[in-house]
Amino acid sequence: MMPGRLRITTALVLLLTALASAPLQCQTRGTTRVTTSFDSDWRFFKGDAQGAERPEFDDTSWRRLDVPHDWSIEGPFDEKNPTGKDGGYLPAGVGWYRKHFDVPARDAGRRVFVEFDGVMANSDVWVNGQHLGKRPYGYIGFRYELTDQLKFGKENIIAVRADNSGQPASRWYTGAGLYRHVRLVNAQPVHIEHWGTFVTTPRVTDASATVSVRSTVVNQSSEARGVSLQVQLTGPDGKVVGTAETRRRQLAAGETADFTQELSVKSPVRWDITNPALYRAVARVLSGGRVLDDETVTFGIREFKFEPATGFWLNGRNFKLKGVCLHHDGSAFGAAVPLRVWERRLEVLRRFGANAIRTAHNPPAPEFLDLADRMGFIVMDETFDVWTIAKRPFDYHLYFDEWSKIDTRDTVRRDRNHPSIVIYSTGNEIHDTPKPDLAKRVLGGLIEVFHREDPTRPVTQALFRPNVSKDYDNGLADMLDVVGQNYREKEILAA
Domains of the chain: 9-19+302-494 (3.20.20.80), 34-187 (2.60.120.260), 190-299 (2.60.40.10)
Give the pLDDT confidence score for residue 453 in this predicted structure: 98
Burial of 244: CB neighbours in 10 Å, binned 0-12, 13-18, 19+: middle
139 in Cβ contact with 53 (< 8 Å):
no
For 372-385, the pLDDT digits (tens) are 999 999 999 999 99
Kindly state the percentage of the chain with pLDDT values over 90: 90
CA dist 95 → 48, 136, 382 (Å): 6, 14, 27
Q: Which of the 8 DSSP states describes residue 24?
A: -
Give the pLDDT confidence score for residue 95 in this predicted structure: 98
Rounded to whole angstroms, the Cα distance separating 170 from 168 reads 6
Give the pLDDT confidence score for residue 31 in this predicted structure: 54
Residues lower than pLDDT 50 in the chain: 1-30
Residues in the chain: 495
For 283-332, the pLDDT digits (tens) are 999 999 899 999 999 999 999 999 999 999 999 999 999 999 999 999 99
Enumerate residues 6+ apart whose C-beta is below 8 A from 370.
Answer: 298, 418
For 151-167, the pLDDT digits (tens) are 999 999 999 999 999 99
Enumerate residues 6+ apart whose C-beta is below 8 A from 124.
Answer: 53, 131, 133, 134, 160, 161
Backbone angles phi, psi at 298, to 5 degrees: -90, 135
CA angle in degrees (0–180, nearest 5) for 133-135-140: 130
For 116-139, the pLDDT digits (tens) are 999 999 999 999 999 999 999 999
For 243-294, the pLDDT digits (tens) are 999 999 999 999 999 999 999 999 999 999 999 999 999 999 999 989 999 9
Give the pLDDT confidence score for residue 22 in this predicted structure: 35
Rounded to whole angstroms, the Cα distance separating 430 from 389 reads 8
Give the pLDDT confidence score for residue 25 in this predicted structure: 35
Start-end of H helices in 266-399: 339-352, 366-375
**CB-side neighbour CA atoms (13 Å) of 398:** 15
Q: Which of the 8 DSSP states describes residue 190?
A: E
- 395: amino acid identity, one letter: D
- 165: amino acid identity, one letter: S
Tell me the catalytic residues: 429
Determine the distance from the C-alpha atom of residue 412 to the mean position of all C-alpha atoms in its chain, rounded to a whole number.
Answer: 7
Strand 290-299 relative to strand 279-287: parallel, antiparallel, unpaired? antiparallel
Rounded to whole angstroms, the Cα distance separating 406 from 396 reads 13
Give the pLDDT confidence score for residue 489 in this predicted structure: 79
Give the pLDDT confidence score for residue 170 in this predicted structure: 98
